Structure 1
């Protein structure tokens, strides 16, 4: 599809009050149904392919294969022949020393791609490795230059940026979309563990979009990754940033839904009932008191997250009350402190698991939120009056 036609379609969507959606994938079935669901363009990124192999998006940055060759191979064979009348964007590794970018971008266009996106991007790399890349000449400016070349070839361009300086560089290079990359997508079994909050993501996007509005007000402004992984998260970003025009997702559209659905359907054949984390997330983002009282919120949060580390201070922040007030309210209602409640809850849960399953005690500790078995055993004995080993032996004797 021609660049002007793509931009015309995007402007028409925005004029109707819709948001722009881009879907990153490594498989034809996702591309096919993303189009059917209303996606505005499809990105072919090497990480999408690795996700289909059961690897995380981070695999796209490791020396497993040549990124450009991988994308060209699967996208040319599986995506372009299958999905028609929607822009297919090539995820270009601009620092590839085996390619002449001028010639390669012409080849990309000739093979049927509507445009390019700078991925994998060195913008996700920091520290000493980033410094070493800079010293070798493999800087973000190579990605800026690739966007410039593609723009001059009248191709549609989607630029991942990480700060205001990069946004400025990409706008000057002619990028059609400035997408604030918030880091590898959080959530799911394979998601990046170190992420920042939705509020921090909003602030970063605000700062970058401010520069966009100064330099080129009409440019399409989007976000990608980080803590933004569900429609609820995206709605939070839309509600708190009037400049945001759309969202690009990869793991959010194919990895996390697949993980959840496959895991849940498998569990459904073994156990009954399940909790939906999004129910709690809706209430947390929408305001705790609109749905139920503070104490019920804390109890429900513990019920869904007892196996993880839980910060009472964080729960107070989410509820928009002081820690001391929430603590006083909780103790008055429940009859014990938050810390006592969560320990008892975990020990009760441990008893349920021991009664139901044959399991190693070290594994049991991990399942109820304890990395250290000695600490788990100590708390178990304190609450129940006997050790986990004694309780398990008693079960074995009865059976």
Structure 2
């Protein structure tokens, strides 16, 4: 069993090397095992994870379907701990459970071999009249703070989900080792401007919480969980615009990948020899040769990956043709070279984002369309549109 000191030293060592801290909320041994192999730094054992494995929503963890602490203790000790060899496992503790006494229960968590705790399920995700009723009867967030304080005194590692600045202050004073800005239940399927606006709101909320951390304990590990942040690109946006050093995911590592991969592989086996004309991966595997246009493949790839680095050489390799031949085909059909097309596509996307949100920082727009260097983005934007990004925004404001 790793000690709190071991875990802290390892995390800070990772940060000094320029790495990020990644936590995976797991509901089954198979997820935990391969998350560790993939490089996860720690695991959270949460009741929501087990409900996801049942094919249910994470929100089921907030209803009286089972005893949360008993569930976590059972599958955590039997499924998760035995398959994890080198990283810590933290217990998702329902601190408002009226059937336990926090001090002895947290001691039992330590004796079983869990290296730390996390406050989940948390009343921080409940609002309205139900939240008021819970607070009035004593089932408040203050009990979660108390649990973190007790665990810290017992030298367990502590991961605190917080939802506002005051909760961050309380958890910092209780000794939390990680302050995780919880952004709400993980969203899915948001695209375009709506997604950008959601990420902007998440950025503001997280940074406000991190500002409190900087004022009280600057060295505390700052992470985020949930909300609109569910892909590596989303997380990169948050890294670029906040003081974030790590990410915790549940649905992002279990539900969403499982939904996509199991659905797609089942459909693929069912339809072997009869792939959909729109199945991009099938065309990539086939070498784009049977019934798919090379240029359309490239254009579709750009549409799906313009936020990321795109290598034309790699696209040619996937298509099993030479770079020069693909380049000639592309220029003949589209009327311009691939680099020019890519810049134009990204600039059009940038204009869409600026029109959708006239308050968004331009460096953020640059990141969202694949430019880490703002100066280069600004240069390309002016070359393509004839005006700088700020001039474009100013003129658009006057027109609307």
Q: Partner of 2:261 in structure 1?
A: 261
Structure 1 position 291, deviation (Å)? 3.0
Structure 2 unaligned blocks of 5 or more: 282-299, 310-339, 370-388
Q: Is residue 251 of structure 2 the alignment partner of residue 248 of structure 1?
A: no
Q: Does 1:293 pair with 2:298?
A: no
Instruction: Trace 1:27-46 onto structure 2 (pairs within 5 A).
Output: 27-46=28-47
Alignment of 1:237-386 (within 5 A): 237-241=238-242, 243-268=243-268, 269-270=270-271, 271-272=275-276, 273-274=278-279, 280=303, 282-283=305-306, 291-293=342-344, 314=356
SS in 2 for 1:7: helix
- In structure 1, the gaps of 5 or more residues are 302-310, 329-399
Per-residue CA deviations over 1:72-125 (Å, capped at 9, x if unaligned) read 000111111111221010000000011111110000001110000000000011
Distance 2:201 2:160 in 1: 21
Deviation at 1:279, TM superposition (A): 6.1
Within 5 Å, give how 1:90-101 maps onto structure 2.
Answer: 90-101=91-102
Distance 2:121 2:250 in 1: 13
Query: Is this contact kept in 2: 1:46–1:120, CA < 8 A?
Result: yes
How far off its partner does 1:323 sit? 12
Pair 1:29–1:312, CA change in 2 (3 A): same
Local SS of the residue matching 1:221: strand
Please give the alpha-carbon distance, in whole angstroms, between the structure 2 residues aligned to 1:116 and 1:169. 16
SS in structure 2 opposite 1:117? strand
The two structures, once aligned, show a CA RMSD in angstroms of 3.2
**Cα deviations across residues 357-389 of structure 1 (Å, max 9, x unaligned)?**
xxxxxxxxxxxxxxxxxxxxxxxxxxxxxxxxx
Q: How far off its partner does 1:188 sit? A: 5.8
CA offset at residue 204 of structure 1?
Answer: 0.6
Q: CA deviation at 1:260?
A: 0.9
Whole-Å Cα distance in 1 between the matches of residues 210 and 97 of structure 2? Answer: 29
User: Are residue 180 (structure 1) and residue 181 (structure 2) matched?
Assistant: yes
Residue aligning to 1:161: 162
Aligned mates of 1:290, 1:181 — CA distance in 2 = 39
Q: Whole-Å Cα distance in 1 between the matches of residues 168 and 206 of structure 2?
A: 11
